[in-house]
Amino acid sequence: MKTLFGKLADGTEIHSWALENGGTRLKVLSWGGIVQSLEIPDRHGRHANVCLGFDAIEDYVARTPYFGALIGRYGNRIGDGRFTLDGEAHQVDVNDGVNSLHGGATGFDRQVWYVEPFTEGSDVGLRLRRTSADKEMGYPGTLAVQVTYTLTEQGDWRIDYEATTDRATVVNLTSHVYWNLAGESGGSVEDHELTIAAARYTPVDAGLIPTGELAEVSGTPFDFRETRTIGRDLRAGHVQQVRAQGYDHNWVLDKGVTAEPVHVATLRDPGSGRTLEIATDQPGLQFYSGNFLDGTLVGTGGRAYRQGDALCLETQHFPDSPNQPAFPSTVLRPGQTYRTTTVHSFGS
């Protein structure tokens, strides 16, 4: 179902689409491809929205920290907003200190997407499309992008990303949903239980740019190979946590790049019984513990979001890969198609 969500200052209409299948309810905006809400049942069959978001387009335009948005052209950070490709230097938009974050100040999260609903067999979904012009936010090449959101008969939320270019470029697309499985107004997620299938992570410098090291998680607060609560070591004082004010790091998934999505993470809220399982073909997972929520944003439930009231699990290639030759490549060339898939499965 399509409804008018609001208008931008220039009069552009922003619409909302509502989907339901397999017990999962999804609302998506044409602004930023944003997931405004995602409702799933608890162990008693009671639905709740488990994603942070706003009721008004004005809040998304003015204040949002990427709530529920599609991220591109390059998810995560690029050091100094610079990289060299085929001997040519490129300067992209700098919007995070001296670095570029999530594609720049007007990345994919701040663009209007063309949205087309579809039904295929027992699945329902939306196809979101836009073309990013050559040099948009400084990135080379005209990039044609399609992102498909599918709700399956089982209630899974699947994201399929595709992109082509007319010039060599770098691409790293992801989704920036803030999860709270107790409900978006449920308060702290420190009691949520998390498992990540990764024996290594990428430590960062003071600007949260990877140093290039692939560090072992063993014996550190970054070891989520066995299930542990978010809050268990959140304040352990590890130098990496001090730099990020919590967790804001890329985990190097044990499976590496795979042809098909493989299960890599499980999140569980013991209070409601809700679970989220993530499968992806990507080599990395950014776990962000909501460190910079400061109580100044009021969400769809009417409550202010404070530090640690949600977390993000962003499937991705590694941050700053264009400047890190040892990291898996994010280069896309003419004649190639960028394809990646992430599947979110819910339970209680």
Point out the residues that are catalytic.
Answer: 176, 314
The alpha carbon of residue 213 and the mean position of all alpha carbons in its chain are separated, in whole angstroms, by 23
